[in-house]
Amino acid sequence: MKIGALELPNTFALAPMAGLSDVPFRTIAWQLGRPYLVSEMVSSKAELWETGKSRLRRVPVPGATPVAVQIAGTDPQVMAQAAQRHVDEGVEIIDINFGCPAKKVCRKFAGSALLQDLDLVGRIVDAVARAVPVPVTVKTRTGLTTDDDLGVQAGCIAVQNGAQMVVMHGRSRACKFNGSADYTAARALKSLVNVPVMVNGDIDSVAAAQQALAVSGADGVMIGRGALGQPWLFAELAGHPVPDRPGKWQIICTHVESMHSFYGELAGLRIARKHVLAYLQHLGLAAHGKAFLQVNDAHEQLDWLMDISRWDQQSRDAA
């Protein structure tokens, strides 16, 4: 699967998710199955370029290629200038966010709010595509509501203006993350454009990925929340052995250590919580989540994980 002249490592990808698909999580995913990786959403505003959040989101995953960054904004020229700055730092693919349903993004008329103005969607893609020598892609939703096809129209307009791949999340802006994803809009888009289409939403297993591809006719799948707590899904998709139970515990501890190192112990401690809760859920140990949340020291977090992993193994041995 190619985006422009760039060959993707696989036909599956880890979705950009603010506060979740950060460098530590993308690194784990890459090591397990080499999915196509896109950074967390980065604001296009120049005045935010050197903020701590923007700097951390722009850090590339060691060894992962191609390097892709997602940008968000509403002004075509500001977006174009942001894309140029990213490319100057070595970014190989620019992805534009037309899909985020979060209120703080939409009230600035960015993300999925841009589906209200398809002319602006076209002008943003055109400006960015003309500004950089690398492929430009877009991520969108089916529309503003379940009753419109604005996402399909936006995808077509994006391609007409230079986008070289479209990712379609199978929900409307109004749906947010509620209800089941519908992949028929992705199928409609695929029939209308001559670039790769990836389908996104409710993909949390190999079987779900196969079903999404069968329904949508898409070229690949992008996995978001379905990967949380089980990054080894990417190993399974790649045809690699899935880690055994002790191997999963080792991945969890490595992931938590990397969050402490990347963010610093105080922030890493906080950010690790949502990931560990997801891991515990997938391991059938969700009842222990409350106890984990009471741990307020980075070193104690790791000690807690080591203790419960030993308890888990002893319990399984005894059974």
Q: How far apart, in whole angstroms, are the C-alpha atoms of residue 198 and residue 306?
A: 38
Q: How far apart, in whole angstroms, are the C-alpha atoms of residue 200 and residue 72?
A: 19
Query: Does residue 253 carry a catalytic annotation?
Result: no
Three-state secondary structure along the chain?
Answer: CEECCEECCCCEEECCCCCCCCHHHHHHHHHHHCCEEECCCEECCHHHCCCHHHHHHCCCCCCCCCCEEEEECCCHHHHHHHHHHHHHCCCCEEEEEECCCCHHHHCCCCHHHHHHCHHHHHHHHHHHHHHCCCCEEEEEECCCCCCCCHHHHHHHHHHHCCEEEEEEECCCCCCCCCCCCCCHHHHHHHCCCCCCEEEECCCCCHHHHHHHHHHHCCCEEEECHHHCCCCCHHHHHCCCCCCCHHHHHHHHHHHHHHHHHHHCHHHHHHHHHHHHHHHHHHCCCHHHHHHHHCCCCHHHHHHHHHHHHHHHHHHHHHC
Q: Out of 100, 106, 156, 175, pick the active-site residue.
A: 100
The residues annotated with a catalytic role in the active site are: 100
